[in-house]
């Protein structure tokens, strides 16, 4: 039996009724490529002259005159970089660190590194010590970079314990034959294909291994959503060190023979391209793009003279979506905004909104062959039972997308993260009878006020309903009586005052205990490198404000610095003098965070 919806022999999941029909055919019988190299080779053989990449913003060209690669060109460049990698010292199965901006050669380097060994794309903006730590953990044998980043890469490579050599694309000789790989060995489905670091802002990011089977499955499964049908043209603007960019605007369209429009090295941050965003959509007949809410919030209005009728939808994820952002986009672009859910530890996407059957408030339907449930956990975050349909718990994912565990010194280690094959995501949510997912927050973001659990997301939604508020984040500030109390940080129009917003928050909070004790208006909410909210920075700021207030109350002069130690804020007061120093010390002792008072 086949699914209700198909394109040729490709099964589609456009509604919940399609899922069980697709899954009647075992995944092993789907004739998927054995590796990402076989994936790109199959497509180049089937569509040799079809465009694979329209590269904007490269080599000083205007976006209207892109450098376009066919699938033959892409595969040839994969072969050229593979030759250069081996010449630079990469062994079969070895790791190549990729310290690169988002260019056509980055796509080629990613696929070439996977054809020989393991690709390890790294955010070039990370601190040098963190890049060096990642290269050391992944046992990198070569670092691939470009001239603009060569000096930083050279310093990083010198710091890494392995003292890895550099391959500088654009400076080193790539005049290698592009007709074949320089080896007869081919990757197997079980081989590690990539190491992706998780998106953080402080501390060395964790590293998630992906196998070829995981990545090929994801490319195929994303095709089942209908996003790469017929004349589909996805636009890429997210950085290629992140799984969304690699899969949603890389391997998935490549597997299905569709062209990708790349916004270039700066992506959505390119201030010369973004004013022409809708003209780019018109010029290349873009059908979809994926972005975080902050990108949607800064999109220019659609000019009346521009035809964007090719656009089918905008995809969004990674952070809570303000209702006004959705409303404004859908009214302006005249297409729906479709939410999805995914994480690096499950390759990329776990759920996507089906085109024919969206459900309000949901982040979509699970992809075929993946399984998602909500579970109850104990105080140590160990699962102790499954939740029923519609019951909120910690979301757990099982299936061909789940990683083998974070990379440790001795290889992938599933301890604590993958239990009996189920990935514990740390996200709170519920799953309805048809498999639709609804997110309610992060387990670690729960505010525990005097033993009462407060989910910050409904509080944030109540703030976002204010006509002047453009962004909101609610965190738990340490409190001497309740342990934690909720406070809010918002971005808002200049006319908004903190007193007015505090009154609004109290009137519209889902319950009295959830009403923020304070509202702070700030210029920008902190995010990670991939646009996800970074609440730890707000907790640190809340403690700093608290310490400064206590210092003022006790008439103590000095400086206050708050950092994170062992997962908790740590306050350090230097040069304390004047005032009631003993009273200040006693006051700070009442709070559930460590501190040190250094007197002048």
pTM of the full structure: 0.80
Q: For tokens 């990198």, name the residue.
A: 140
- Domain enclosing residue 542, as ranges: 536-599
Q: What's the mean per-residue pLDDT of the chain?
A: 89
pLDDT at 536: 85
Mean pLDDT of 101-120: 97
521 and 454 within one domain: yes
Show the DSSP H helices in 228-317 as ranges: 243-246, 252-255, 277-284, 293-298
| pLDDT above 80: residue 518 | yes
In this structure, how many other beta carbons lie within 10 angstroms of the beta carbon of residue 523? Answer: 5
pLDDT band (50, 70, 90) for residue 198: confident
Q: What is the pLDDT of residue 446?
A: 75
DSSP 347: S
Structure letter (DSSP) for residue 249? I
Q: Tell me: do 519 and 568 sit in the same domain.
A: no
d(CA 211, CA 117) in angstroms, rounded, equals 11
- Final residue of a domain: which of 527, 547, 570? 527
- The span from the CA of 496 to the CA of 491, in Å, is 9
Mean pLDDT (whole number) for 203-226: 91
User: Would you state the pLDDT for residue 451?
Assistant: 58
Q: Is 545 inside any structural domain?
A: yes
Highest mean pLDDT among 43-52, 351-360, 361-370, 492-501: 43-52
pLDDT of amino acid 201: 42
Nearest to 253 by CA among 401, 68, 40: 40
Residue recorded with tokens 């033959």: 72
Contact present, 579 and 594 (Cβ < 8 Å): no
Q: Is the same domain home to 451 and 521? A: yes
How far is 583 from 595, CA to CA, in rounded Å?
A: 14
- The reply to whether 511 falls in a domain is yes
d(CA 437, CA 353): 10
Encode burial over 555-569: b for 16+ CB neighbours within 10 A, e otherwise: ebebebebeeeeeeb
The angle at the Cα of 50, spanning 112 to 281, to the nearest 5 degrees, equals: 100
What's the length of the chain? Answer: 600
What local confidence, expressed as pLDDT, does residue 322 receive? 61
* pLDDT value of position 275: 94
In the three-class reduction of DSSP (H, G, I as helix; E, B as strand; rest coil), residue 546 is classed as helix
- The reply to whether 199 falls in a domain is no
| Cα(359)–Cα(95) distance, integer angstroms | 42
Looking at residue 6, its pLDDT comes to: 62
Greater model confidence, 326 or 74: 74
What is the Cα–Cα distance from 112 to 83, expressed in whole angstroms? 9
Structure confidence at residue 2 as a pLDDT band (50, 70, 90): very low
pLDDT tens, position by position, 430-487: 999 988 999 877 767 778 786 566 878 888 988 999 999 999 999 999 887 777 899 9
Q: In angstroms, how far is the first alpha carbon of the chain from the final one?
A: 79
**pLDDT exceeds cutoff 70 at 44:** yes
- Tell whether 503 and 567 lie within a shared domain: no
**What radius of gyration, in Å, describes the C-alpha atoms of the chain?**
25
> Could you tell me if residue 371 is left (phi over 0), alpha (psi between -120 and 50 degrees) or otherwise beta?
beta
540 and 483 in a single domain? The answer is: no
Residue 179, token pair as written in the block: 């007709």
Q: What's the pLDDT at 293?
A: 74
How many other β-carbons are positioned within 10 Å of the β-carbon of residue 3?
Answer: 22
Are both 518 and 540 inside the same structural domain? Answer: no
The CATH number given to whatever domain includes residue 585 is 3.30.300
What would the pLDDT profile of 561-588 be if each residue is shown by its tens digit?
998 875 678 899 998 888 999 999 989 9
- Do 487 and 544 lie in one domain? The reply is no
Q: Say if residue 320's pLDDT is above 60.
A: no
Residues 497 and 563 in one domain: no
**Has residue 3 got a pLDDT over 60?**
no
What is the Cα–Cα distance from 303 to 236, expressed in whole angstroms?
A: 21
pLDDT band at 321 (very low <50, low <70, confident <90, very high): low
How many separate domains does the chain show? 2
Q: What is the pLDDT of residue 55?
A: 97
For residues 7-31, average pLDDT: 88
**209 pLDDT higher than 80:** yes
pLDDT of 180 strictly over 80: yes
Residue 196 lies in a domain: no
What was the pLDDT predicted at 323?
65
Q: Is residue 212 part of a domain?
A: no
Separation between Cα atoms, residue 593 and residue 580, nearest integer Å:
21
CA distance 470 to 393: 29
Span 260-318, pLDDT tens digits? 999 999 999 898 999 999 999 999 999 999 987 778 878 999 999 999 999 999 988 75
Residue 552 belongs to some domain of the structure:
yes
Residues 513 and 540 in one domain: no
CB 233 within 8 A of CB 286: yes
Could you tell me the pLDDT band of residue 531, with boundaries at 50, 70 and 90?
low
- Check whether residue 460 and residue 519 sit in a common domain: yes
Boundary (domain end) residue, out of 475, 498, 527: 527
Counting residues of the chain whose pLDDT is more than 90, the rounded percentage is 62
Strand partners, 565: 568
Any domain includes 399: no
Cα–Cα–Cα angle for 405, 223, 12, rounded to 5 degrees: 115
Same domain for 554 and 580: yes
Whichever domain contains 476, its CATH number is 3.30.300.30
Instruction: Provide the pLDDT confidence category of residue 202 given band limits of 50, 70 and 90.
Output: very low
CB 208 within 8 A of CB 406: yes
Q: Note whether residue 450 is domain-resident.
A: yes
Residues β-bridged to residue 454 = 447
Distance CA 406, CA 187 (A): 21
Last-in-domain residue among 508, 527, 546: 527
pLDDT at residue 530, rounded to an integer: 57
Phi, psi of 222, deg, nearest 5: -65, -30
Claim to verify: residue 521 and residue 544 sit in the same structural domain: no
- Token pair of 311 as six digits: 């656009």
């Amino acid at each position: 039996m086949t699914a209700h919806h198909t394109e040729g022999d490709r099964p589609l999941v456009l509604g919940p009724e399609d899922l069980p029909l697709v899954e009647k055919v075992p995944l092993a019988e789907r004739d998927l490529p054995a590796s990402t190299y076989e994936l790109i080779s199959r497509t180049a053989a089937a569509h040799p002259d079809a465009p694979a990449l329209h590269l904007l913003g490269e080599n000083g060209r205007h976006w209207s005159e892109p450098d376009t690669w066919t699938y033959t060109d892409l595969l040839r460049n994969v072969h050229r970089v593979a030759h250069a990698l081996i010449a630079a010292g990469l062994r079969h199965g070895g790791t190549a660190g990729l310290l690169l901006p988002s260019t056509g050669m980055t796509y080629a380097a990613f696929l070439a590194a996977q054809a020989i060994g393991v690709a390890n794309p790294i955010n070039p903006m990370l601190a040098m010590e963190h890049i060096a730590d990642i290269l050391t953990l992944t046992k990198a044998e070569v670092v691939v970079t470009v001239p603009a980043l060569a000096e930083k890469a050279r310093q990083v490579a010198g710091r890494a314990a392995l003292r890895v050599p550099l391959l500088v694309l654009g400076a080193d000789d790539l005049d290698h034959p592009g007709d074949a790989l320089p080896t007869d060995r081919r990757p197997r489905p079980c081989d590690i294909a990539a190491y992706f670091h998780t998106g953080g802002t402080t501390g060395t990011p964790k590293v998630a291994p992906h196998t070829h089977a995981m990545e090929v499955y994801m490319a195929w499964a994303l095709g089942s959503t209908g996003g790469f049908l017929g004349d589909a043209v996805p636009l890429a603007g997210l950085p290629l060190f992140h799984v969304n960019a690699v899969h949603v605007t890389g391997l998935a369209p490549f597997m299905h023979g569709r062209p990708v429009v790349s916004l270039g090295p700066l992506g959505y941050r390119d201030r010369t391209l973004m004013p022409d965003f809708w003209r780019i959509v018109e010029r290349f007949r873009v059908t979809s793009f994926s972005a975080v809410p902050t990108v949607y919030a800064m999109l220019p209005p659609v000019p009346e003279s521009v035809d964007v009728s090719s656009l089918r939808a905008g995809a969004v994820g990674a952070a809570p979506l303000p209702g006004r952002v959705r409303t404004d986009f859908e009214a302006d672009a005249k297409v729906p905004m479709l939410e999805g859910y995914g994480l690096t530890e499950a390759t990329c996407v776990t759920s996507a909104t089906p085109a024919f059957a969206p459900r309000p408030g949901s982040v979509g339907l699970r992809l075929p062959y993946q399984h998602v449930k909500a579970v109850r956990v104990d105080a140590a975050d160990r699962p102790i039972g499954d939740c029923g349909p519609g019951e909120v718990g910690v979301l757990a994912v099982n299936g061909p997308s789940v990683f083998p565990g974070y990379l440790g010194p001795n290889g992938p280690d599933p301890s604590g993260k993958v239990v009996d094959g189920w990935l514990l995501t740390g996200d709170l949510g519920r799953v309805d009878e048809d498999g639709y997912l609804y997110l309610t927050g992060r387990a670690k973001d729960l505010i525990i006020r005097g033993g009462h659990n407060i989910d910050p997301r409904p509080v944030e939604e109540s703030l976002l309903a204010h006509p002047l508020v453009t962004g909101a984040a609610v965190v738990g500030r340490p409190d001497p009586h309740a342990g934690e109390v909720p406070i809010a940080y918002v971005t808002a129009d200049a006319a908004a005052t903190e007193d007015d917003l505090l009154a609004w928050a109290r009137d519209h909070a889902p319950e009295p205990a959830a009403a923020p004790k304070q509202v702070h208006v700030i210029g920008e909410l902190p995010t990670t490198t991939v646009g996800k909210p970074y609440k730890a920075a707000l907790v640190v700021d809340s403690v700093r404000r608290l310490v400064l207030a206590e210092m003022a109350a006790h008439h103590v002069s000095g400086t206050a610095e708050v950092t994170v130690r062992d997962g908790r804020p740590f306050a350090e007061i230097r040069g304390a003098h004047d005032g009631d120093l003993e009273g200040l010390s006693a006051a700070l002792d009442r709070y559930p965070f460590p501190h040190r008072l250094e007197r002048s």
